[in-house]
Amino acid sequence: MLSEFVKSADWKSEKHVPVIVCADTAAAGAPFDIAVTVGKEIAHPNTTNHHIAWIALHFAPAGAKTAIEIGRCEFSAHGASAEGPDKGPAYTDSTLAIRAKFAVSGTLYATAYCNIHGLWSSEKAIAIA
């Protein structure tokens, strides 16, 4: 199973863990901001040879049997250029920011993919009032 290869850890001590930043509660049907970032406490290098390729965010409503993909972002600028690795003019910071609204409580699940260290995940419960 793929789940055997998904890693998780405390984001304060591991730079690969996607950190979900949003309010713990929201009003039903009211939009609220959600950010997912990799390297919140310990910066991830995001170089040509070592970078976060993408972040995805899913929502699993309480009691549901499936999760819904809320958003996904692919990061393309890692310093590559015709002059060579890490000599380019642009580097992408590994952050996904979206606005969403939910009708019921549930859990947000974030996954991120590092080109060297694989899949990482985290989760956060959201209460909808």
pLDDT, tens digit (0-9, with 9 covering 90-100), for 71-117: 999 999 999 999 999 999 999 999 999 999 999 999 999 999 999 99
Question: If you average pLDDT over every residue of the chain, what do you get?
Answer: 94
Active-site residue identified among 4, 12, 14, 74: 14
Spatial distance between the Cα atoms of 50 and 24, rounded to a whole number of angstroms:
32
Range of the domain at 36: 2-128
pLDDT given at position 7: 83
Residue 17 has pLDDT above 80, yes or no: yes
Is-catalytic flag, 78?
no
Confirm if 122 and 8 have CB atoms less than 8 A apart.
yes
Query: What tokens does 126 get?
Result: 């959201």
Count of domains for the chain: 1
For residue 12, the domain's CATH number is 2.60.40.730
Per the annotation, the verdict on 51 as an active-site residue is: no
Contact (Cβ atoms closer than 8 angstroms) between residue 12 and residue 41: yes
User: What is the distance between the alpha carbons of residues 62 and 84, in angstroms, rounded to a whole number?
Assistant: 48
